[in-house]
Amino acid sequence: MTCLTASRRLFVGALGAFCALGLSTGVARADVEIRFFYPIAVNGPLTKIIDGYAQEFEASHPGIKVKPIYTGDYVQTVAKALTAVKGGDAPECAIMLAADLYTLTDEDVVVPIEDLATTPEDKAWLNGFYPAYLENARVNGKIVAAPFQRSTPVLYWNKAAFKAAGLDPDKAPANWAEMMDFAKKLTKKDASGNVSQWGIQIPTNGNGAWLWTGLTTANDVKLINAEGNKTFFNDPKAVEALDYLVGLSTAGVQPKGLTDWGATPKDFLEGKIAMMWHTTGSLTNVRSNAKFPFGVGFLPAKAHWGAPTGGGNFYIFKGLSPEKQKATFEFVKFMTTPERAADWSIKTGYVAPSPAAWETKAMKDYVAEVPQAAVARDQLQYAVSEVTAHDNQRVTKALNDAIGAAMTGSKTPKAALDDAQKEADRILKDYR
Amino acid sequence: MHGRFTTLHAWLLALPAMVLLVLFTHYPIVVTLFDSFMSTPKKHRPSHFVGLDNYAAMAGDPVFWKALTNNLIYAGATIPISIALALLMALIVNGRIPGRPLMRMAFFTPTVLPMVAVANIWLFFFNPNYGAIDQLLQLVGLTAPNFLGQQQTALWCVIVVAIWKEAGFFMIFYLAALQTIPPDLVEAAAIEGAGRWQILRRVVLPLLMPTTLFVLINAVINAFRTVDHIFVLTGGGPDNATNVLLYQIYLVGFSFWDQGYAAALTMVLLAGLGAAALLQFFFLDRRVHYR
């Protein structure tokens, strides 16, 4: 009997706790609350910076509360956001991959930001972003997302290693042939043939497809159409680009097999690789930790210069009350004002997404101090959007698998890309 | 009257656990089974019945077969090796040796570390340029291969990390079991003239069998459940060389958002684990107890 009363008491207690929980969530209804999911993809104490922006916004917008929620990396963030939407508890806005554009519009979970930009000032704000960044923010001609932390890969080189190898330390390789040539000169072997310094590293475990797009773009081939439903992975020029990437390893100037995206900046900082391809988002990390002078340059050209854009955009979710939607739109505008974009760019290394941000005093001072920061901006005019397909994660995985297979020698570049194209055709046939 | 009250009482006591089990285990399984026969809902095409289409797609999906093969290799290597190592470590730290607490702690440390932290540590062990293994090899004039970046070695690296992580955990169970073995049994065997090896084989190991069964069940479950380190170490690559079933389910479910196919994959994993559990409980369980 005592047992029974004890469990009954427990039950009542639990009930009480549930009620209390319900009450506490009911209290904070006076303010409009914006929950904002954001990923972190580069090094640094970024959570603090984001929290600071949120506080600034709250101070200047009474009645609106912003709750930034760190949600892991990009893939986890879109997973969490979509799960929340399916569970009926969507956040108000999130920073998600620009390349997940079609995934989000196919799931029909986001509101095109252009629909919310009604005043002339709003429209001017929206059209103030770099065209290269808006390229994969549009669906059917309408801007869906606002560029925020956008990036593009650049070539980092170790000037000390260049000097030691008898190369001009201030000159990056201008084209593919030169990069191969420089890399050969920069590769150092000890007496027993072990490599102590590699010429180049283009990481392929993580973001491999993205970096490889830097090669294909320079070789004058587009990997996907603007509608995101037809890929050209096995175009002869694309095959040539993968041949070149694999060739760097077979020539012995790049480590064999896949190299890790996350470990590559460290490999570079440790002096184990003389040149690396990595995101501009790593600039701050490299700048604060490099014990040697380094340069930042364009990705080398083939037919012409070329690079992909990458990174994340602001998306606003569907189904918000008009009041919440307006508050969220204000917040997104606030986060992308030139001053804030400049500040975020300086603190992270991302490429500020609008020309106006580059005109701010803070940014001009920064560029005067760190001229490398402007390289990515100047490269933008040659940049195309990264592979942005319907069912994007799946299509990108097919491409990454192909690059992995070619780099590890289990398939030839041609066979690997043929397979990737076949898989992409299978996935995308429903979207044509 | 009294009997009926006892029954009611028993059911009431079991109720909270039953409610939770039904809510979070049985109900989701039924829903998943149902989903596996349905198509994935799309914007203009709601979910509809497709029969065995998802299973047929699976049979024709080379990535599924690759993941299944990898998972079987992974299980086949991690289960026996981690159990054997656990037993060996337990026997070592059960004996009277100097520095025993320190050794127990050393063996157990990997268990208390979060898997993602462990994987990050190993990421730098495996680094071909300045990793710990590379530096050791350099002492004898060799350089490490690109462990995680080539298909021949990547899966084995993932297996090594899993064993390193798990053996210490299983050791604890063996250690506890070893200490419950009455010393007089061992002494009696010694008086009968049994050597150390004979005592181990004829006395200790049989008495440890229930523990071995328990550890085995856990090891089997873990072999299909532990994928955290794969996210950090390889992301399933190169070209699916380290992709396993659960990782593939995650990709299909939460990266590709293909609910129907993910549900079908989940049912296959569930069926496999269910069969393993049945085998263990109804077949092995009858044989492990020392009579």
Q: Cβ of A107 and B9 within 8 Å? A: no
Quick one: pLDDT at residue A35?
93
For residue B151, the chain A residues in CB contact (below 8 A) are: 408, 410
- C-beta neighbour count of A310 within 10 angstroms: 28
CB pairs under 8 A between A and B: 104
Both tokens of residue B19? 């409610």
pLDDT of B86 above 60: yes
CA atoms within 13 A on the CB side of A375: 24
Quick one: pLDDT at residue B249?
95
Q: What mean pLDDT comes out for the span A21-43?
A: 68
Are residues A412 and A273 part of one domain?
Answer: yes
Beta strand A64-70 pairing with A32-38: parallel
Gap from A132 CA to chain B (nearest CA, Å): 26
Are residues A189 and A236 part of one domain?
Answer: yes
Q: What mean pLDDT comes out for the span B126-146?
A: 83
- Measuring CA to CA, which residue among B163, B171, B166, B203 is closest to residue B89? B171
Express as a percent the part of chain B with pLDDT over 70: 98
- Measuring CA to CA, which residue among A246, A195, A176, A280 is closest to residue A406? A246
For residue A86, the chain B residues in CB contact (below 8 A) are: none
A192's enclosing H/E stretch is none
Chain B positions touching chain A (beta carbons under 8 Å): 9, 12-13, 16, 42-43, 123-124, 127-130, 138, 141-143, 146, 148-151, 234-235, 237-241, 251, 254-258
First to last CA, chain B: 40
On whether residue A3 sits in a domain, the answer given is no
Dihedral sign from CA coordinates of A252, A258, A261, A262: negative
- Of A384, A402, A420, the residue at which a domain comes to its end is A384
Least reliable range by pLDDT among A91-100, A335-344, B209-218, B278-287: B278-287
Closest-approach residue (CA) in chain A for B142: A194
Structure confidence at residue A12 as a pLDDT band (50, 70, 90): very low
Is the CB of residue A323 less than 8 Å from the CB of residue A254?
no
Q: 């030139």: which residue's tokens?
A: A338
Q: Cβ of B43 and A108 within 8 Å? A: yes
Both tokens of residue A320? 């918000």
Are residues A336 and A192 part of one domain?
Answer: no
Are residues A399 and A283 part of one domain?
Answer: yes
Beta strand A146-151 pairing with A307-317: antiparallel
pLDDT of A15 above 50: no
Chain A positions touching chain B (beta carbons under 8 Å): 3-4, 7, 75, 79, 82-83, 103, 106-108, 192, 194-195, 198, 204-206, 255-260, 262-263, 267, 270, 272-273, 391, 393-394, 397, 400-402, 404-405, 407-408, 410-411, 430
pLDDT of B290 above 70: no
- Of A346, A368, A384, the residue at which a domain comes to its end is A384
Quick one: pLDDT at residue B105?
87
For residue B128, the chain A residues in CB contact (below 8 A) are: 255
Q: What residues does B42 pair with on adjacent strands? A: B45
Gap from A72 CA to chain B (nearest CA, Å): 13
Gap from A64 CA to chain B (nearest CA, Å): 32
d(CA A97, CA A83): 16
Beta strand A307-317 pairing with A110-111: antiparallel
Structure confidence at residue B2 as a pLDDT band (50, 70, 90): low
Are residues A298 and A235 part of one domain?
Answer: yes
d(CA B68, CA B86): 26
On whether residue A107 sits in a domain, the answer given is yes
Tens digits of residue pLDDT in A249-304: 999 999 989 998 888 999 999 999 999 999 988 888 898 899 999 999 999 999 99
Q: Which positions ≥6 away from A202 have C-beta within 8 Å?
A: A211, A212, A245, A248, A254, A259, A276, A277
Q: Cβ of B237 and A106 within 8 Å? A: no
Exposure string for A175-208, b = 16+ CB within 10 A, e = fewer: ebeebbebbebbbeeeeeeebebbbbbbbbbbbb
Across the beta sheet with A153-158, what order do the strands follow? A188-189, A195-201, A273-279, A153-158, A294-297
Gap from A359 CA to chain B (nearest CA, Å): 38
DSSP state of A229: S
Angle between the B100-112 and B62-94 helix axes, to the nearest 10 degrees? 160
Q: What residues does A385 pair with on adjacent strands? A: A309
On whether residue A36 sits in a domain, the answer given is yes
- Measuring CA to CA, which residue among A306, A131, A136 is closest to residue A225? A136
Dihedral sign from CA coordinates of A366, A370, A373, A375: positive
Are residues A238 and A179 part of one domain?
Answer: yes
The identity of residue A162, as a single letter, is: F
Are residues A275 and A390 part of one domain?
Answer: yes
Count the residues in chain B: 291
Both tokens of residue B63? 């990535």
Dihedral sign from CA coordinates of A134, A139, A141, A142: negative
Q: Which positions ≥6 away from A14 have C-beta within 8 Å?
A: none
Are residues A74 and A200 part of one domain?
Answer: no
Q: Is the ipTM of this complex over 0.90?
A: no
Q: Cβ of A255 and B240 within 8 Å? A: no
First to last CA, chain A: 69
CA atoms within 13 A on the CB side of B121: 12
Are residues A210 and A89 part of one domain?
Answer: no
d(CA A93, CA B94): 56
CA atoms within 13 A on the CB side of A295: 17
Both tokens of residue B233? 């170490």
d(CA B174, CA A177): 61
- Of A347, A368, A384, the residue at which a domain comes to its end is A384
Q: Give the three-state DSSP class for A224.
A: strand
Are residues A282 and A258 part of one domain?
Answer: yes
Tens digits of residue pLDDT in A42-62: 766 788 999 999 999 999 999
- Ordered DSSP codes for A151-191: E-EEEEEEHHHHHHTTS-TT----BHHHHHHHHHHH-EE-T
Gap from A168 CA to chain B (nearest CA, Å): 26
On whether residue A416 sits in a domain, the answer given is yes
Structure confidence at residue A20 as a pLDDT band (50, 70, 90): very low
Query: What domains can you pick out in chain B, each with its CATH number?
Result: 62-288 (1.10.3720.10)
Query: How many H-runs (helices) and E-runs (strands) does chain B carry?
Result: 15, 0
Q: Cβ of B240 and A401 within 8 Å? A: yes
Is the CB of residue B271 less than 8 Å from the CB of residue B193?
no
Closest-approach residue (CA) in chain B for A80: B254
Nearest to B239 among A195, A273, A405 (CB): A405
Q: Cβ of B255 and A393 within 8 Å? A: yes
Q: Cβ of A410 and B151 within 8 Å? A: yes
Interface test with A, best of B146, B158, B234 (most A CBs within 10 A): B146
Are residues A204 and A65 part of one domain?
Answer: no
For residue A404, the chain B residues in CB contact (below 8 A) are: 237-241
Closest-approach residue (CA) in chain A for B254: A79
d(CA B39, CA B44): 13
Q: Cβ of B150 and A259 within 8 Å? A: no
On whether residue A18 sits in a domain, the answer given is no
Both tokens of residue A80? 């969490």
On whether residue A19 sits in a domain, the answer given is no
Nearest to A270 among B130, B148, B149 (CB): B130
Tally of domains in chain A:
2
On whether residue A20 sits in a domain, the answer given is no
Q: Cβ of A260 and B237 within 8 Å? A: no
Angle between the A413-428 and A392-407 helix axes, to the nearest 10 degrees? 170
Q: Cβ of A402 and B148 within 8 Å? A: no
Q: What mean pLDDT comes out for the span A17-28?
A: 43
Quick one: pLDDT at residue A30?
59
Nearest to B129 among A270, A397, A402 (CB): A270
Q: Which positions ≥6 away from B281 have C-beta within 8 Å?
A: none
On whether residue A352 sits in a domain, the answer given is yes
Angle between the B259-278 and B27-35 helix axes, to the nearest 10 degrees? 130
pLDDT of B256 above 90: no
Is the CB of residue B75 less than 8 Å from the CB of residue B273?
no
Structure confidence at residue B129 as a pLDDT band (50, 70, 90): confident
- Measuring CA to CA, which residue among B170, B204, B207, B175 is closest to residue B101? B175
Task: Please tell me the pTM assigned to this model.
Answer: 0.84
Nearest to B239 among A3, A79, A408 (CB): A408
Tens digits of residue pLDDT in B184-243: 888 888 888 888 888 888 888 888 988 998 899 889 989 998 889 998 898 887 999 999
Dihedral sign from CA coordinates of B281, B284, B289, B291: positive
Quick one: pLDDT at residue A43?
67
Domain ranges, residue A94: 30-151+310-384
For residue B62, the chain A residues in CB contact (below 8 A) are: none
Are residues A158 and A131 part of one domain?
Answer: no
Count the residues in chain A: 432
Task: State the average pLDDT for chain A.
Answer: 88
Higher-pLDDT residue of A14 and B151 is B151
Nearest to A206 among B12, B235, B254 (CB): B235
- C-beta neighbour count of A306 within 10 angstroms: 23
Q: Give the three-state DSSP class for A215.
A: helix
Q: Cβ of A258 and B241 within 8 Å? A: no
Tens digits of residue pLDDT in A59-114: 999 989 999 999 988 888 998 999 899 888 899 999 999 999 998 998 889 999 99
CATH number of the domain residue A90 falls in: 3.40.190.10
For residue A263, the chain B residues in CB contact (below 8 A) are: 123-124, 127
Judging by beta carbons within 10 Å of its beta carbon (0-12, 13-18, 19+), is residue A62 exposed, middle or buried? exposed
**Omega before B114 within 30 of 0, i.e. cis:** no
